[in-house]
């Protein structure tokens, strides 16, 4: 056993270099993670299911290959969100329905990652079926924010974000429908990217042509996020919308930051109102960009039509995936999950037609804006991390929300456009909690988006004072 807790602070990119140069072994990284998990996990509850024996076995097999054949990640450990199957590892989807389920085969996206040198050592916590912006469930309980253990880590990729912030992961796989990569990134002070639908594939799926929910990468900085995106992207068997991997690696674009000439800033996309402190920090960030020669214009883009359309399309997705689960297991399901499924089952054709037309309009509206600007920037969350005892947010900035997900409108509105979006930290509240921004790129424009995001990340510089409470 070789434990070096100083490795926890290293970047994933640095570790992959050391692995490739054989200055480190994958076993060293796994042992170090195990030690860090023992230290912080009882307080955070980010990674409730561990599979280190499986990871070490995969590391042994990987080390038998020449270095050049060990894949892009070369033995870097990666946790997988508990919505995604990993062969031989308990996969509950955060639900009592599946609390004892151990799949025999892995999701194709996991197999793809492992073929590129990833070592799966844990499953990250998620709300039941990924159904909210706060990570809690009846199987594993609540995931806490490493910056303040009394606060939410966000969701639904809250376990992944909390693991990154507490040093029990260097990169993490997650997924995003209403903002599930971006909200927890904002809450935990890490980076999360929602790629173009099809960029990262998953299979099998009940609805393989669905484009609202996508898998994507999370890390502590833009470059490491790009590295994991490279490992996740590409065509996989059984995924009909999969996009071929690019000729030039995304991480190469992140390592060649290009400062955008003009950016548009929106305080709320015409659909949301952020709390004053969050908006003030975001505007301070825009002032820093302007001071560095970037043209920053206030945008009047209005995505308010997204609300009804998103609820409709989300309902269709839940009905397609979980109609049978509802029929057989209603008594153990979270009421929010029941509401989501029933909403989809009750939809009529007129609502579906309207939702699809609205989504097209939102895409064209965003596409037109991004022909004039390099990127669009807006807050990543309208609220700071809230108390873990709360189940959702029903009021912010004086506005009441009718449903438990409408406080996420600033993220789900961007989901509806289909554009790639990355969330990065930009500052801290007076109470010591992270604040983030979303940066929206052009259609299928992950390469340019990552380059611009890295340049913006460099301008922001050190955004945090102190370190997470859990470390």
Distance CA 52, CA 61 (A): 14
Distance CA 119, CA 280 (A): 41
Q: How many residues does the chain have?
A: 471
Widest CA span of the chain, in angstroms?
62
Question: Which residues, given as ranges, of the chain have pLDDT below 70?
Answer: 1
468 falls within a domain: no
470 falls within a domain: no
How many Cβ atoms from other residues are within 10 Å of residue 231's Cβ? 28
Q: Is pTM, for the whole model, over 0.75?
A: yes
pLDDT digits (tens, 9 = 90+) for 232-287: 999 999 999 999 999 999 999 999 999 999 999 999 999 999 999 999 999 999 99
Q: What is the structure's pLDDT at 414?
A: 99
Q: What is the structure's pLDDT at 181?
A: 98
Pairing of strands 375-379, 434-440: antiparallel
Helix (H) or strand (E) holding 141: strand 141-142
Locate tokens 């890490």: which residue? 190
Distance CA 155, CA 94 (A): 12
Q: What is the structure's pLDDT at 121?
A: 99
471 falls within a domain: no
Q: What is the structure's pLDDT at 443?
A: 98
Q: What is the structure's pLDDT at 46?
A: 99
**212 preceded by a cis bond (ω within 30 of 0):** no
29 falls within a domain: yes
Mean per-residue pLDDT of the chain: 98
Q: What is the structure's pLDDT at 264?
A: 99
Q: What is the structure's pLDDT at 368?
A: 98
254 falls within a domain: yes
Q: What is the structure's pLDDT at 106?
A: 98
Q: Spell out the residues 6+ positions from residue 308 whose beta carbon is closer than 8 angstroms to its own.
A: 354, 355, 358
Locate tokens 């590892």: which residue? 89
Q: The domain spanning residue 245 has which CATH number?
A: 3.90.1300.10
303 falls within a domain: yes
Q: What is the structure's pLDDT at 2?
A: 87
With helix as H, strand as E and coil as C, how does 322-366 read? HHHHHHHHHHHCCHHHHHHHHHHHCCCHHHHHHHHHHHHHHHHHH
Domain ranges, residue 10: 5-460
Locate tokens 């991004």: which residue? 370
Q: Which of 37, 20, 11 is CA-nearest to residue 163?
A: 37
Q: What is the structure's pLDDT at 116?
A: 98
124 falls within a domain: yes
297 falls within a domain: yes
395-402, long-range: CB < 8 A, 24+ apart: 396/273, 396/274, 396/275, 397/273, 397/274, 397/275, 397/276, 398/273, 399/273
Coil, helix or strand for 142?
strand
Q: What is the structure's pLDDT at 374?
A: 98
Q: Quote the number of domains for the chain.
A: 1
């Amino acid at each position: 056993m070789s434990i070096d807790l100083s490795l926890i602070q290293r970047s994933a990119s640095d570790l992959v270099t050391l692995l490739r140069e054989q200055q480190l072994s994958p076993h060293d990284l796994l042992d170090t993670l195990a030690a860090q998990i023992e230290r912080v996990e009882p307080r955070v509850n980010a990674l409730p299911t561990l599979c280190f024996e499986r990871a070490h076995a995969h590391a042994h097999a990987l080390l038998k290959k020449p270095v050049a054949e060990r894949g892009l990640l070369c033995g870097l450990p990666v946790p997988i969100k508990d919505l995604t199957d990993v062969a031989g590892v308990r996969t509950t989807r955060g639900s009592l329905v599946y609390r004892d389920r151990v799949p025999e085969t892995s999701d194709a996206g996991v197999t793809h990652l492992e073929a590129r040198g990833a070592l799966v050592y844990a499953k990250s916590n998620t709300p039941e079926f990924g159904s909210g912006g706060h990570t809690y469930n009846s199987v594993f309980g609540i995931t806490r924010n490493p910056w303040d253990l009394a606060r939410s880590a966000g969701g639904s990729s809250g376990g992944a974000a909390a693991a990154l912030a507490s040093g029990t992961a260097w990169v993490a796989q997650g997924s995003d429908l209403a903002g599930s990569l971006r909200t927890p990134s904002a809450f935990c002070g890490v980076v999360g990217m929602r790629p173009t639908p099809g960029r990262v594939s998953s299979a099998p799926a009940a609805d393989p042509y669905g484009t609202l929910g996508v898998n994507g990468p999370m890390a502590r900085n833009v470059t490491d996020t790009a590295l994991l995106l490279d490992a996740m992207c590409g065509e996989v068997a059984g995924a009909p919308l999969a996009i071929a991997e690019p000729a030039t690696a995304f991480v190469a674009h992140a390592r060649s930051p290009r400062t955008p000439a003009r950016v548009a800033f929106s305080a709320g996309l015409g659909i949301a109102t952020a709390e004053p402190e969050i908006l003030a920090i975001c505007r301070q960030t825009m002032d820093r960009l302007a001071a560095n020669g970037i043209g920053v214009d206030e945008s009047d883009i209005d995505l308010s039509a997204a609300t009804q359309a998103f609820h409709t399309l989300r309902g269709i997705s839940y009905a397609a995936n979980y109609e049978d689960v509802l029929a057989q297991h209603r008594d153990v399901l979270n009421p929010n999950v029941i509401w989501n499924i029933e909403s989809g089952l009750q939809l009529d054709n007129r609502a579906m037609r309207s939702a699809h037309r609205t989504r097209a309009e939102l895409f064209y509206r965003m596409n037109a804006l991004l022909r004039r600007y390099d990127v669009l920037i807006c807050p990543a969350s309208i609220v700071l991390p809230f108390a873990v005892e709360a189940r959702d947010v029903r009021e912010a900035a004086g506005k009441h929300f009718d449903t438990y997900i409408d406080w996420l409108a600033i993220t789900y509105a961007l989901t509806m456009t289909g554009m790639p979006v990355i969330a990065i930290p930009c500052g801290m509240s007076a109470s010591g909690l992270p604040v983030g921004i979303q940066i929206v790129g052009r259609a299928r424009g992950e390469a340019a988006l990552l380059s611009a995001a890295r340049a913006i990340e460099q301008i922001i510089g050190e955004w945090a004072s102190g370190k997470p409470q859990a470390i």
